[in-house]
């Protein structure tokens, strides 16, 4: 079994096709098929189901994919460690980030990263908090920045900055002239919400449960997969929503959204830097983490989000 064979298997598994996987790896389809067959013989396990509708991972294949990604991730870490001996002259760091960090924190960090570590190329994979944690565990990313917390010893969490969830409406909504409303009034409204795996949704449900409110009692018109989609729906007049305060400053200044306080309700949430507890960090990951955790840099990030 070789690292190249692992790369071939991952390409086929992710594209669900021998031909497309072969294109990714720049080999012929027959060569890729031979290597996959060799892996199945060596592991004595059928890794792929070959059907008329495409290629599908078997149970064994899913397990093999998880470990293959981890092995190649460790190879990348080794290469970066060697690069670290030469002053991080050239290193690529893959970071996963949930919606708010991906759009409002990491872009503001890039100038500082470029200035201090010009040899690091940052590759960012966006997703909701649950997806990022899964990718961290599978080795697809080395670090994660998320708004959701899972009590699992697999992960190591370091606090970054606080964010607050606030209720917003469009400028023509009947609540747009109100500075605050009661719990009872809020529950009667129609809402646009984020998807279940998002840190925003997790923080919102936790806050409501702490107040004795059943999150399922809300009239949710739609669940959308990004903060931007939620903001656009609200600006168009489609109900209310709870969103990150970091994400709406420009909208508030331009009158596209209106913030409405809910009496007695404050929803603070922590944004976290996450890594795997048992994985050694690469030099690039150490450099990025140190930069991100510096108080001055985080203050600049906060200011950048309000520009």
Range of the domain at 135: 87-158+277-305
Q: How many domains does the chain have?
A: 3
Flag whether pLDDT at 27 surpasses 60: yes
**Spatial contact of 124 and 292, defined as CB atoms under 8 Å apart:** no
pLDDT of 35: 85
Q: Do both 38 and 126 map to the same domain? A: no
Pairing of strands 143-146, 155-169: unpaired
Q: What's the residue count for the chain?
A: 307
What are the pLDDT digits (tens) for 74-115?
Answer: 787 777 666 655 555 677 889 999 888 888 888 888 888 888
Flag whether pLDDT at 189 surpasses 90: yes
pTM for this one? Answer: 0.63
Question: Residue 77 domain-assigned?
Answer: no
Question: Residue 78 domain-assigned?
Answer: no
pLDDT of 296: 44
CA dihedral sign, ordered 292, 294, 297, 303: positive
Better-predicted residue by pLDDT, 290 or 174: 174
Q: Look at 74-88, 134-148, 193-207, 218-232 and tell me which has the smallest mean pLDDT.
A: 74-88
Helix (H, G, I), strand (E, B) or coil at 58: coil
Average pLDDT over residues 146-155: 86
Task: Note every long-range contact of 37-40, with CB atoms under 8 Å and residues 24 or more positions apart, other chains counting.
Answer: 38/5, 39/1, 39/5, 39/9, 39/64
Question: Residue 79 domain-assigned?
Answer: no
Question: Residue 81 domain-assigned?
Answer: no
Question: Residue 121 domain-assigned?
Answer: yes
Distance of CA 295 to the CA centre of its chain: 23
Pull the structure tokens for residue 77. 């870490």
What are the pLDDT digits (tens) for 54-72?
Answer: 788 988 888 998 888 888 8
DSSP string, 199-247: HHHHHHHHHHHHTT--GGGSEEEEEESSHHHHHHHHHTT--EEEEEGGG
């Amino acid at each position: 079994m070789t690292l190249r064979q692992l790369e071939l298997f991952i390409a086929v598994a992710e594209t669900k096709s021998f031909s497309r996987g072969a294109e990714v790896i720049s080999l012929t389809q027959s060569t890729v098929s031979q290597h996959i067959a060799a892996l199945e013989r060596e592991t004595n396990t059928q890794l792929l189901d070959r059907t008329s509708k495409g290629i599908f991972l078997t149970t064994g294949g899913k397990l093999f994919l998880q470990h293959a990604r981890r092995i190649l991730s460790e190879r990348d870490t080794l290469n970066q460690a060697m690069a670290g001996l030469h002053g991080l002259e050239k290193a690529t760091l893959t970071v996963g980030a949930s919606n708010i960090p991906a759009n409002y924190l990491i872009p503001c960090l890039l100038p500082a990263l470029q200035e201090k570590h010009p040899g690091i190329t940052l590759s960012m994979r966006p997703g909701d908090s649950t997806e990022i944690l899964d990718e961290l565990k599978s080795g697809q990313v080395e670090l994660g920045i998320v708004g959701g917390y899972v009590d699992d010893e697999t992960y190591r969490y370091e606090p970054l900055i606080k964010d607050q969830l606030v209720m917003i409406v469009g400028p023509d909504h009947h609540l747009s002239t109100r500075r605050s409303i009661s719990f009872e009034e809020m529950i009667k409204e129609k809402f646009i919400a984020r998807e279940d795996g998002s840190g925003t949704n997790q923080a919102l449900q936790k806050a409501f449960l702490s107040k004795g409110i059943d999150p399922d009692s809300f009239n949710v018109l739609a669940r959308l997969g990004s903060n931007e989609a939620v903001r656009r729906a609200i600006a168009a007049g489609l109900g209310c929503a709870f969103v990150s305060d970091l994400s709406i400053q420009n909208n508030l200044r331009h009158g596209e959204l209106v913030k409405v306080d809910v009496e007695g309700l404050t929803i603070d949430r922590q944004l976290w830097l996450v890594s795997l507890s048992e994985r050694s960090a690469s030099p690039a990951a150490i450099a990025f983490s140190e930069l991100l955790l510096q108080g001055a840099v985080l203050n600049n990030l906060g200011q950048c989000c309000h520009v």
